[in-house]
Amino acid sequence: MSENKGMIGQIQIADEVIGDIAVTAALEVEGVTEGVGSNKSIVEFFGRRSQTKCVRVSKEENEVILDMDIIVNFGTKIQIVAEEVQKKVKNAVETMTGIPVPVVNVAVSGIVKEKPAKTVEEI
**CB of 86 closer than 8 Å to CB of 93:** no
Mean pLDDT by 10 residues, the chain (123 residues): 66 92 95 59 47 83 94 95 97 97 95 70 60
* pLDDT value at residue 113: 86
* pLDDT value at residue 123: 57
